Amino acid sequence: MIKPLLLSVLLILTNSAWSQEFKVVYDKDRDFSQYKTFRFGEGELLTPKDKRQLTAEQVDKWMKTAITNELKMKGLQRTDSAADLVVSYVVGTVAKSDAGNVGPLGMTPGSTERTYMKDYQMASMVIDLNDRRDIKVWRVNTTIEMVSTNAEKLIGQVVQKGFKKYPKAVKNKSKK
């Protein structure tokens, strides 16, 4: 009894890990303490217009709010004029389908069905921070299965996770 339950939990956790890709890339030698201000550059929604359930304006507002909150917590201030960092993003969704065999443990009693079909939405998001010289200093790149219908919450969670690794300010090392 415990083994089938343990196997089911393990399969669910393994499937969750496969449905998310998350990568943060940045210059680890860069002194991020030099950045004090940021502004927004281009934001783009790539979901085809006939497939959108949200407006580009809604997504833009949620992205900017989530990013602003994270960068303010890191000590940066938003400005609409010249800034140390320029934030840009691309976000979109695409419909996906998966099919496969479930095997004997995945069958329900009395069923002879051994295959499954799963339709879902995959969301992709790329957030870039470029410095004044247009040098990319930070990138969050994620692809995640949309398991929630609350897109605003999902955007907030992904942005929060992406900026969790934002480097702490490099302190000047004084020689003794």
Domains in the chain and their CATH numbers? Answer: 19-98+114-163 (3.30.160.670)
Contact indicator for 133, 41 with CB cutoff of 8 Å: no
pLDDT per residue as tens digits for the range 23-41: 999 988 888 999 999 999 9
Q: Taking a C-beta distance cutoff of 8 angstroms, is the pair 89, 69 a contact? A: no
* Residue 51 per-residue DSSP state: G
More confident residue, 95 or 140: 140
Radius of gyration over alpha carbons of the chain, in Å?
A: 21
pLDDT at 79: 96
pLDDT at position 9 is 33
- Distance from chain centroid for Cα 152: 12
Strands (E), 30-168: 37-45, 77-78, 85-101, 115-131, 136-145
Give the per-residue pLDDT at 50. 83
Summarize pLDDT for 46-79 with one digit per residue, the tens.
887 887 888 889 999 999 999 999 999 999 999 9
pLDDT surpasses 90 at 121: no
Given a contact cutoff of 8 angstroms between Cβ atoms, the answer to whether 125 and 99 are in contact is no
Identify whether the C-beta of residue 21 lies closer than 8 Å to the C-beta of residue 158. no
pTM confidence score:
0.73
Confidence (pLDDT) at 105: 61
Closest CA to 64 of 39, 83, 45: 39
